[in-house]
Structure 1
Amino acid sequence: MVFKSPGEIGKKYLNNLNRIRQNTINRRCLFVNNMKKSKKKSSSAHADKDYGLAEPLMDTISVEELETKKNCFLNKLKTVNLHQLNLDTRDQNGNLKWFQERKKRLTASKFGEICKMRSTTSCRRQVHAIIYNPQIKSKEMAHRIEMEPYGRKKFEVVSGLSVETCGLIVDSEITFLAASPDGVVGDDAILEIKCPYIAKDTNDVTEAVNNKLLQYCTLLPTNNGQQMVQLKRDHNYYYQVMGQLHITGRHLCYFVIYATKWIHIEKNFYDAEFWETKMVGKLTAFYMDCLLPEIVEPLYGKRLLVSDIREPARIIEAQELNNKKISKKTK
């Protein structure tokens, strides 16, 4: 194999990669550090700024060994006391255990992105984002964290209902799926609150939607000639709500949008057909084929290359088939 210098751009990239290597390792999910390391010595070369990118990663376990690790991990998830986990993680993002346990599972906030992936879309970027990317602090996030308690209190005042906080709730049957609603209401409802920074100074929800500040909402005409604000059924937030309802075993979600001058409350009911036809199959396939292999036998940490993360055969085959179709059209 002949190595060529990647040039100044390549060298800059690799220098930056080396600079952040230690920080990236520290951001790896906590439980990965406890995994047993392979006894085999890696025969693949690391990336080098003078001789190009690394060779293909060769130090991997067999398919049979990987399946054994996956099954072992899934069995351990089934032994977790789910009720106690919910109680222990009620601080949510202020709780270390909440972060640790959700890293082992696929959570509702990601459901929309996963369910809408095309058959040809690589899963590597999604897997990397879920396991390794830190939570990026922004003014939007700070605003949401600050305003959410006010939104919860305002909901209680307007609705006359009481909200109870909750932690990480895991599906009782599909134990690799989890959700963290912003609260539970009574015995059959949950609460999901959005506090959009971009709409914080608007006078009402209709103004915010008309000014295209709430891309996840639409205006529908009503029988009395008015307009009704509704969460879009194809938006990631709707997938999140449906996932939360299924996982919690509840049938109603109060979807709340809160700003300083107004509050919008929308009722969304569980749609079993939507879950069965558009969600559960894709979520299961992604977790089993994409996310779980990197959880139990991580490859990214060996060289910090996203391209080292496993790509399922079904995605590779779909990509090859699509490329053949494209090449035929161009001839």
Structure 2
Amino acid sequence: MLLIEQWKIAGLKEIPSQMSSTSLPQQWDKPRGEKIKPEAVSQMIIARPTNITRKRKPIVASYMNTQKTGIQDSDVQHLKKLKGSAVSYLMDGFDVAAMPSVQTPLGLQHVGSALSYHAPLVQPITEPRIANSCGDTVFPKTLSICDPPNIEHLEHEWSDLDITHSEASKLEKLTRNQSEDQKWYEERKKRITASNFGIVMKRKKDVNTTFLKNTFRKNEFFSSSTSYGKANENVAKQIYIKKTGNHLHDIGLIVNPSLPFLGATPDGITCEQSITGIIEVKCPYSVRDMSINDACETRQDFFLQKDGDLFHLKHDHAHWYQVQGQLLVSGAPFCDFITYTKQDFYVERIFPHAPTMNDLIKKLSLFYVQHFKPFVHNY
């Protein structure tokens, strides 16, 4: 009624088709409905809007133990000796060992500490189950295919990258901090890595300098999708641990002595009944609020496809070449491909696929010689 009265005062003869925001009643008291859903602080991403150039990395939940030492018996005894002070009365009957505590990613924390109820939002990801011991966590292993294509005539092209098995194993251990380690960056720059295998394999156009720069020399950037993926990777790992009973280890850059011009960095090592494999975690931002079934039915570009009650990674998707490349380089017997959304979770166990691996070796070896190596030497 107030709006109609305003139109009457303004002398309007009919309802206006469009009015400016200043001519309309305020809208901020109207509820947003179901558009905004509650989230745990550990999953929140704090960043500037996407239409503003970002100069800083988005803020995500992280946990850092800055405590130098815990409470020692000697500390308690020292406080008890402060006779006449209030703290000396508080220390009467105080026993550190008897204080109730709770397990957190930072170790045992006393009940009452903020860490005792905030830190459990993220659980530790490396604690083994009692009934599930570790397998052989040393990588790389021998090639997963028995009869790889013959590329001996090209081996002199990457002789400067030759590496022994012990050197490769040491490199993997030294680069487990991944993007936080400068050596990880340096060694990756020399090689075609699994995250780019799909881009190279699916390339139909001629390979030019622009393509090479955008693929192999792109600057680190931060977006809602990348920040969401990083923030939720640990959440997905926790669900994986709880559902499978397996435990995980960190992993660095893997270089196989048989194919030293290639590299791979999976998202972790998984141990299942003394058998060691790798994992790759995907937290797709575009379908973050959907179930995996709905994503398969409504999004043609989604990387999974439905097969009865199961879901499978599409063999023509870039992620397929990435996973098969990781299996090829690492020599792992399987990869647990983890898909996580806020509504769903799914794990597909992917095994080495010899035809795909043969295609990878053939095309990537030629790509390295014809395009990648000259590009690296010039840029």
- Please report the TM-score for the alignment, with normalisation by the length of structure 1: 0.63
Distance 1:192 1:257, change over 3 A: same
Task: Please give the per-residue CA displacement for 1:300-319, whole angstroms capped at 9, x wherever unaligned.
Answer: 5xxxxxxxxxxxxxxxxxxx
Q: Contact between 1:208 and 1:214, CA under 8 Å: does it hold in 2?
A: no
When you count helix as a share of all residues, which structure comes out higher?
A: 1
1:228 paired residue number: 310
Q: CA deviation at 1:214?
A: 5.9
Q: Contact between 2:163 and 2:257, CA under 8 Å: does it hold in 1?
A: no
1:128 is paired with a residue whose SS is helix
Task: Please give the per-residue CA displacement for 1:89-134, whole angstroms capped at 9, x wherever unaligned.
Answer: 111122221111101100001111111223x522433321234221
Q: Which runs of 4+ in 1 moved over 6 A?
A: 70-73
- Of 186, 211, 215, the residue aligned with 2:302 is 215
1:175 is paired with a residue whose SS is strand
1:176 is paired with a residue whose SS is strand
Aligned residues: 221
1:157 is paired with a residue whose SS is helix
Q: Contact between 1:172 and 1:247, CA under 8 Å: does it hold in 2?
A: no
1:195 paired residue number: 283
Distance 1:72 1:232, change over 3 A: closer
User: Over alpha carbons, which structure has the higher Rg?
Assistant: 2
The amino acid across from 1:84 in the alignment is K
Distance of 1:130 and 1:88 partners within structure 2: 25
1:77 aligns with 2:161: yes
- Of 204, 229, 254, the residue aligned with 1:144 is 229
1:275 aligns with 2:357: yes
2:371 paired residue number: 290
Distance 1:107 1:241, change over 3 A: same
Distance 1:75 1:263, change over 3 A: same
Distance of 2:264 and 2:202 partners within structure 1: 19
- In structure 1, list runs of 5 or more residues that go unmatched: 1-69, 222-226, 301-331
Q: CA deviation at 1:135?
A: 2.1
- Of 190, 196, 200, the residue aligned with 1:114 is 200
The RMSD of aligned alpha carbons is 2.1
Distance of 1:79 and 1:255 partners within structure 2: 29
Q: Contact between 1:170 and 1:179, CA under 8 Å: does it hold in 2?
A: yes
Distance 1:131 1:176, change over 3 A: same
Distance of 1:262 and 1:215 partners within structure 2: 14
1:266 paired residue number: 348
Identity %: 28
Distance of 1:219 and 1:73 partners within structure 2: 42
2:260 is paired with a residue whose SS is coil
Task: Please give the per-residue CA displacement for 1:130-160, whole angstroms capped at 9, x wherever unaligned.
Answer: 3422122111000111110111111011111
- Please report the TM-score for the alignment, with normalisation by the length of structure 2: 0.55
2:113 paired residue number: none
